[in-house]
Amino acid sequence: MTIPKDIPEKWFPIFPHLKWIKLGLPTSEKIRCGTEQERRVRANDREYNEKFLYANNCIMTSKYNIITFLPVNLFEQFQEVANTYFLFLLILQLIPQISSLPWFTTIVPLVLVLSITAVKDATDDYFRHKSDNQVNNRQSQVLINGVLQKEKWMDVRVGDIIKLENNQFVAADLLLLSSSEPHGLCYIETAELDGETNMKVRQSLAVTSELGEPGNLAQFDGEVVCELPNNKLDRFCGALHWRECKYTLTNNNMLLRGCVLRNTESCYGLVIFAGPDTKLMQNSGRTKFKRTSIDHLMNTLVLWIFGFLVCMGVILAIGNAVWEREVGSLFQSYLPWDPPVDNFLFSAFLSFWSYVIILNTVVPISLYVSVEVIRLGHSYFINWDRRMFCNRSNTAAEARSTTLNEELGQVEYIFSDKTGTLTQNIMTFNKCSINGHAYGDVMDTPGAQHKRAQPLDFSAWNPLADRDFCFYDVSLLEAVKMREPAVHEFFRVLSLCHTVMSEEKSEGELVYKAQSPDEGALVTAARNFGFVFRSRTPSTITTQELGKEVTYTLLAILDFNNIRKRMSVIVRTPEGHICLYCKGADTVLFDRLHSCNHDLMNITSDHLNEFAGDGLRTLALAYRDLSEEQWEEWAERYHGADKAIDYREDRLAAAYEEIEQDMMLLGATAIEDKLQEGIAETITVLSLANIKIWVLTGDKQETAVNIGYSSKMLTDDMTEVFIMNGYTVQSVREDLRRARERMLESSRSRDGVKEAEMQDFGGACSLGNGFGSRDAANWIPGQKKSAQPPAPPTSLLESVSGEFALVISGHSLAHALEADMEQEFLETACACRTVICCRVTPLQKAMVVELIRRHKNAVTLAIGDGANDVSMIKTAHIGVGISGQEGIQAVLASDYSFSQFRFLQRLLLVHGRWSYLRMCRFLCYFFYKNFAFTMVHFWFGFFCGFSAQTVYDQYFITLYNIVYTSLPVLAMGIFDQDVSDQRSLQYPKLYEPGQLNLLFNKREFFICIAQGIYTSVVLFFVPYGALWQATQSNGVPLADYQTFAVTTATALVIVVSVQISLDTGYWTAINHFFVWGSLGTYFTILFTMHSSILFNIFPKQFHFLGSAQSTLSQPLVWLTIALATVICIAPVLAFRFLKLDLKPQLSDTVRYTQLVQKKQWKAGGHARRSMGGASGPGGSGLGHLGRGGSRRSGYAFAHQEGFGELITSGKNMRLSSLALATFAARHSSSWIDTLRKKKHSPPAGDSSPAPSVAAPVSNSSSLIGPLETAAEQRGQTNADPQVGVADVAQVETGQCSLVVQEALCGWRATAGARLSSTGASSLGPPPIAEETNGE
């Protein structure tokens, strides 16, 4: 059912057909392209259209059906090199001359792996089928033979005429024929398509709009000739041939699949593109299977190991050849060759394969299973995380893909959508300036704070007020009531000058449908202040001004566009005056004011600056009285321009320009584009973690820049913000070149300053160690960049990052992404701290992501909420969808989803980091343990005539990976933590090892296998030395094969268990259970397998009878095992200790401080707990007061808590000070400064929600990890772990994080000061410790 009925490649057998689907739908297009240059569609003529074999409207994203599932899935699985390899091994094992291991050692794990994967694939595909079916089975009304019939979406054909009703999804790409609205207009919402939530207007051709009735439409037999399917959402070119006339078609006549019909009762459309050909599907990009870089590395390593294995096999085979020739041939009387073997070379050949089988355990198949299990576990932890749960939308975070977790710990670039991702897409009328008086800022008047909590109540005097509207400044309401003319005129402009549609469902229940949320916010504001826009007709606007109904005659709308940046209406008041009301960007509006407005303009400008500084979107308002003559004169010109055929737009613009002069300024509005909670902190923390954030939005440049400022991606102290807006290749190239020059220039000049400063410092403090100069540079106040020695010119651009921002528009981007310029663009953009791309199409988003992916070798993450982000989400290494919003396309395409942008912080810095760490530790250990296990056979080969005799019992070989060693390492891989989640967030620098790929790379891998090989040497030769002439205490020699096998196996299990104990950093009960349990299981199974019971049942299978008892009762064996263990572990321990002692990583330091803190706390716990008890239940009011009143004490408190341990431990100080200095230095200082300012502001400021920065901080629920500042918090945590930090943190976080930063700043400042005054002292930090302690 889901297979398209008219597959273009009907003649293809089933298999290529599946392939075609897998490669992505556009392939079918390519096949056709050779023959078809244009598309011809004739309305109501299925026979005609079927000739062209156009795709029908069925979409299919699934891969299998019931019949094809098994073969195709197995085929796919065996494309995995690993699976094929194990299959091959299995076949080898069936040859008796080769078989060195029984067949079940391979087949059991292989079948297990294959079936797990198959089940997973089947489930995935089932859900794809379900969603496909759901979409394909949606109903639509198709006009067939003049009658409207219900048809499923998938049965809709190209050339059909379908009827759409209000709020229905458009089923395919349609040519709008007619509409229930006048002039063939209809309104659509394109949110699913391009993410823009404003409504758009589409208009049918005049000739078709007259058809109207189904009866007429059935007679319609026009033929459309148009372009081939493509992914350009904003362009369509074609022509309609009907009744010997040709009508040009543009995008304005098209309704695209994915849009929703709004405010239109119904409309008819002709299907032009269906199913996979629609622009929506063309834009959705290819689904590709995402793999993590660890996956790639793992595959490479597995190949290497395979090579290694072959080498070992060859060496041993050569050994076998030599042995068989020199020894074996003489030994024939005791041991003849197996029948087919007649010479030593053939024997060597067989021995090679035998050894391949034995040594295959270096890459056991359980590696892949374990990796999947670990990832699955991490995914569950993400799903379960309460701190990524949004109460409001009742959605928890979801790891939709379970294969990418560790990649989350390596992200370097984040590509974010704006609308709905960074912002809530809610606009609120926040402030205004009317006639030189600013309203809305209640914070300025002290004592008025208590009113903040209470928004103005409009409903009392205005029954039409919108209840959701919030405004806090009572003085504006007063002004309205006082009938101040300027205020009235101000709101009149807002109520008249717009393009909002109103809908009055019942009396007084107004619903506004606005093109943009801004407009809606403004009209709603006017509504609440008594100027209610009620309804409009094409020529009138009816409002209710302070309860009185007024109808204005609408003379003209001078519409908004990007260049004009303003819109006006000309109305005739009921009194007969003609008035022009205008609103627009202040920059354009101020040029067109009457000269008498000069003073007012200055005041308003100040206000505007203030508003803009708060990150608000501003508009200026003005009006102009027109005389009847002026109007008539202009109206004539206007009509002339309107009717012009060529340059209509330009002419109109000129006409508008003419009338919009000499206006009188009224004031300005400020609208807040509400950011989501915690955006600024999230972005700050992420950039501290060295993650670059790019915003890719379809929105306007101004909006994007605005958001950039309010989310602190752009800051005022940035060196320069480059704006690229060029339309031509040359101008873009020029822009890029100029930007780069400016960067180099400024970095040169700054380097100059820096060097000078460094010299000053160098005189004062010559720190002995290599960090000295860097530290010094970092401590220079205001120095934001680590002062590395001047980099070579090639990497100069890399080194200047952090100071610049780039804002580029879609058209410029189109040029910048062309092959010859992309390198330049890449260099420039990557040198910028922030990149904002506005007005980009979905595909461009994907191209930008692809560009970084291709050239930077960095892990990219794309986050978005709309269908327009789907391609980007699919392209990036990791796609994140914002859930809980309306559209779910993004979520469906994503790998992770949650409902708030701020959760990204936790996803990356906590879950990602942990996943990466765990996966790396897991892999290291895994390779280690298998090399240690397997390589023993290699050494044994030299003593058993290279005969591929195993050292261990066959059951031990089967179970070693599955049972004896799998669970401890799995537990580590799932539960390990080096530092707590709070600290991961608190020190974003901890994220860096992941980005630099430090924890598992080829080097680490070689260290692991070297350790494994070393262990195998010890494990073979120590028992060899100890046992070869040893005897039991009853005289029986110990050097028999079975004793040796048991001894070596036991030593191996113990050594790897000790090693996993060393590797495990976080011993939960589960880890204990697994580690001890594995050892216990080993001994239990060992004794069971060697018991007489099993032997009596299967004498042939269990010939190790009694070995365990007789071996493990010998003290000598235990001494041997102990010796081997110490020899294996001691060097590792010494090496780790040295590494930790001499070159600790930041995580080590943090972990250490964590430990110290715990110990200190335990020591002083009792006293503090009682204190916590006192202040804990004291209630929020008390806590509030205390904090407000004693900032200073709060500071000291935090200081001790957050960094005290660093300071008190002198040597540690040096390390952590380095870490922290870089941490601090990486900041945009503005963040810290803002916080610092807050700290110094009067205590009263604390309790009020601070405007931009502090408010989100204190609201955000614990994203900046709560420094376990408050003693009572820890008291609680410890007393009852179930209560958890989370809940306490929810309350405390705001203050905590604030305090942390203060502590940081304060500490840094002190450190710097101290350092400079201490002079030449190689013990820089310890004195600071004393000093800060003294405070």
Partner 1 sequence: MMASSYNIKEEDGHHSGSSGPGGNAVRTKKPDNTAFKQQRLPAWQPIITAGTVLPAFFIIGLIFIPIGIGLYVTSNNIKEFEIDYTGIDISSPCFNCSQSYSWNTTTSCTCSIPFSLDQPFESNVFMYYGLSNFYQNHRRYVKSRDDSQLNGNLDSLKAPSKECEPYRINENMPIAPCGAIANSMFNDTLDLFYIDPNGTRTPIPLMKTGIAWWTDKHVKFRNPGGSSSNLTAVFYGTTKPLSWPKPVYELDTDPENNGFVNEDLIVWMRTAALPTFRKLYRIIQKKNSLTPTLPRGNYTLDIVYNYPVRSFDGRKRMILSTISWMGGKNPFLGIAYISVGSVCFFLGVVLLFIHHKYGNRNNSSDIPN
The residues annotated with a catalytic role in the active site are 417
Smallest separation, CB 1321 to partner 1 (Å): 17
Q: Which residue among 653, 1085, 1123, 1291 contacts partner 1 (CB under 8 A)?
A: 1123
Q: Token pair of 987, please? A: 């020190």
Which amino acid is residue 484, in one-letter code? E
Nearer to partner 1, 35 or 1029 (CB): 1029
Q: Please list the residues that pair with 105 across neighbouring strands.
A: none
Nearer to partner 1, 56 or 395 (CB): 395
Helix (H, G, I), strand (E, B) or coil at 62: coil
Report yes or no: 586 and 570 within 8 Å, Cβ to Cβ. Answer: no
Q: How far apart are CA 680 and CA 1250, in angstroms?
A: 14
Residues in contact with partner 1, counted by CB under 8 A, come to a total of 110
Q: Token pair of 765, please? A: 């403090």
Q: Token pair of 699, please? A: 């929105």
Nearer to partner 1, 391 or 506 (CB): 391
Binding residues among 794-823 for partner 1 as defined by CB under 8 A: none
Nearer to partner 1, 727 or 943 (CB): 943
* Binding map of partner 1 across residues 1042-1061, x = CB under 8 A, - = no contact: xxxx----------------
The residues near 74 (Cβ < 8 Å, ≥ 6 apart) are: 114, 118
Binding residues among 395-414 for partner 1 as defined by CB under 8 A: 395-396
Q: Tell me how crowded residue 1237 is: count the other CB atoms within 10 A of its CB.
A: 14
| Unique residue bearing structure tokens 């300024």 | 665
* Binding map of partner 1 across residues 971-990, x = CB under 8 A, - = no contact: ----x-x---x---------
E strands present in 116-172: 139-144, 147-152, 161-165
Binding residues among 1269-1288 for partner 1 as defined by CB under 8 A: 1281-1282, 1284-1287
Query: DSSP for 184-212?
Result: GEEEEE-HHHHS--SEEEEE--HHHHTT-
Q: Which residue among 591, 1029, 1097, 1334 contacts partner 1 (CB under 8 A)?
A: 1029
Tell whether residue 1070 is a contact of partner 1 (CB under 8 A): yes
H-helix segments, 1143-1250:
1146-1175, 1179-1189, 1191-1198, 1204-1208, 1210-1226, 1229-1240, 1244-1247
Binding residues among 1184-1243 for partner 1 as defined by CB under 8 A: 1209-1212, 1215
Binding residues among 304-333 for partner 1 as defined by CB under 8 A: 327-328, 330-331, 333
Q: How far apart are CA 516 and CA 190, in angstroms?
A: 12
Tell whether residue 1166 is a contact of partner 1 (CB under 8 A): no
690: alpha, beta or left? (left if phi > 0; alpha if psi -120 to 50)? left
The residues near 777 (Cβ < 8 Å, ≥ 6 apart) are: 754, 757, 758, 761, 783, 786, 787
Smallest separation, CB 939 to partner 1 (Å): 12
Q: How far apart are CA 709 and CA 702, in angstroms?
A: 11
Binding residues among 363-402 for partner 1 as defined by CB under 8 A: 381, 383-386, 389, 391, 394-396
Nearer to partner 1, 28 or 100 (CB): 100
Query: DSSP for 723-753?
Result: EE--SSHHHHHHHHHHHHHHHHHHHHHHHHH
Smallest separation, CB 719 to partner 1 (Å): 38
Binding residues among 830-859 for partner 1 as defined by CB under 8 A: none
Instruction: Return the axis-axis angle of helices 1002-1027 and 1115-1142, rounded to nearest 10°.
Output: 150
The residues near 51 (Cβ < 8 Å, ≥ 6 apart) are: none
The residues near 416 (Cβ < 8 Å, ≥ 6 apart) are: 422, 693, 694, 695, 696, 862, 863, 864, 901
Q: Which residue among 88, 1028, 1076, 1087 contacts partner 1 (CB under 8 A)?
A: 1028
* Binding map of partner 1 across residues 889-918, x = CB under 8 A, - = no contact: -------------------------x----
How many alpha carbons lie under 13 Å from residue 1332 in its C-beta half-sphere?
35
Q: Tell me how crowded residue 488 is: count the other CB atoms within 10 A of its CB.
A: 19
Q: Which of 986, 1038, 1298, 1026 is nearest to 1149 (CA)?
A: 986
Q: Token pair of 1324, please? A: 């820089």
Nearer to partner 1, 690 or 1042 (CB): 1042
Nearer to partner 1, 242 or 1021 (CB): 1021
Smallest separation, CB 1270 to partner 1 (Å): 18
Binding residues among 610-669 for partner 1 as defined by CB under 8 A: none
Where does this chain touch partner 1 (CB under 8 A) — which range of 203-211, 675-683, 1075-1083, 1110-1118?
1110-1118
Smallest separation, CB 1267 to partner 1 (Å): 17
Binding residues among 988-1027 for partner 1 as defined by CB under 8 A: 1022, 1024-1027
The residues near 308 (Cβ < 8 Å, ≥ 6 apart) are: 362
Q: Which residue among 334, 643, 792, 793 contacts partner 1 (CB under 8 A)?
A: 334
Binding residues among 673-702 for partner 1 as defined by CB under 8 A: none
Tell whether residue 1095 is a contact of partner 1 (CB under 8 A): yes
Q: Tell me how crowded residue 1242 is: count the other CB atoms within 10 A of its CB.
A: 9
Where does this chain touch partner 1 (CB under 8 A) — which range of 20-28, 468-476, 539-547, 1112-1120?
1112-1120
Binding residues among 64-103 for partner 1 as defined by CB under 8 A: 100
Nearer to partner 1, 99 or 766 (CB): 99
Residue 989 DSSP code: G
Binding residues among 483-542 for partner 1 as defined by CB under 8 A: none
The CA R_g of the chain, rounded to the nearest whole Å, is 37
| Unique residue bearing structure tokens 């969603």 | 131
Q: Which residue among 339, 576, 782, 1177 contacts partner 1 (CB under 8 A)?
A: 339
Q: How far apart are CA 77 and CA 121, in angstroms?
A: 10
Tell whether residue 1290 is a contact of partner 1 (CB under 8 A): no
Tell whether residue 104 is a contact of partner 1 (CB under 8 A): no
Q: Please list the residues that pair with 148 across neighbouring strands.
A: 143
* Binding map of partner 1 across residues 1126-1165, x = CB under 8 A, - = no contact: xx--x--xx-xxx-xxx-x------xx-xxx--xx-xx--
Smallest separation, CB 1025 to partner 1 (Å): 4
Q: Which residue among 354, 604, 715, 834 contacts partner 1 (CB under 8 A)?
A: 354
Smallest separation, CB 104 to partner 1 (Å): 16
Nearer to partner 1, 119 or 1130 (CB): 1130
For residue 262, give Cα distances in angstroms to 179, 190, 230, 259.
Answer: 12, 10, 25, 9
Q: Tell me how crowded residue 739 is: count the other CB atoms within 10 A of its CB.
A: 24
Q: How far apart are CA 919 and CA 973, in angstroms?
A: 6
Binding residues among 405-464 for partner 1 as defined by CB under 8 A: none
Smallest separation, CB 357 to partner 1 (Å): 12
Smallest separation, CB 987 to partner 1 (Å): 17
Q: Which residue among 728, 823, 1031, 1247 contacts partner 1 (CB under 8 A)?
A: 1031
Nearer to partner 1, 966 or 1114 (CB): 1114
Binding residues among 916-945 for partner 1 as defined by CB under 8 A: 943-945
Instruction: Read off φ and ψ for residue 540, nearest 5 degrees.
Output: -140, 160
Smallest separation, CB 895 to partner 1 (Å): 19
Query: DSSP for 1299-1310?
Result: HHHHHHHHHHHH
Smallest separation, CB 88 to partner 1 (Å): 21
Smallest separation, CB 979 to partner 1 (Å): 9
Report yes or no: 510 and 502 within 8 Å, Cβ to Cβ. Answer: yes
Nearer to partner 1, 460 or 1093 (CB): 1093
Smallest separation, CB 340 to partner 1 (Å): 12
Tell whether residue 14 is a contact of partner 1 (CB under 8 A): no
Nearer to partner 1, 88 or 1028 (CB): 1028
Which amino acid is residue 1004, in one-letter code? E
